[in-house]
Amino acid sequence: MESIRVLVVEDDQDINRLLCRILADGGYDVRPAFSGSEAVLWAEQYDYDLVLLDLMLPGLTGEEFIAKLRQRKTMPIIVLSAKTG
């Protein structure tokens, strides 16, 4: 059975590493990205079953990443962010 592919987009290295480790330990195929621009590159090259996305990112913001992604692909996105308003 093929494992579920998850793109983790979080610029905080500690949080990104923790999320990736938890998911990998659960059997998921995980790819980290640390900016919106990097996330776009990975999302253009591969299909993911899920994107875990922070909104406050360097390069492209999370909102900009979603807009770019939706122009080309449809994949589930869960937003994890401390951003308010």
Q: Give the separation between CA 34 and CA 83, rounded to whole angstroms.
A: 17
The conformation of residue 42, written as its DSSP 8-state character, comes to H
> Tens-of-pLDDT digits for all 85 residues of the chain?
689 999 999 999 999 999 999 999 999 999 999 999 999 999 999 999 999 999 999 999 999 999 999 998 889 999 998 777 6
pTM reported for the whole predicted model:
0.93
Q: With contact defined as beta carbons under 8 Å apart, do 50 and 26 qualify? A: no
> In the structure encoding, which two tokens stand for residue 73, read together?
């692909």
pLDDT the model gives residue 81? 81
For 42, phi then psi, to 5°, come to: -65, -40
| The residue type at 66 | I
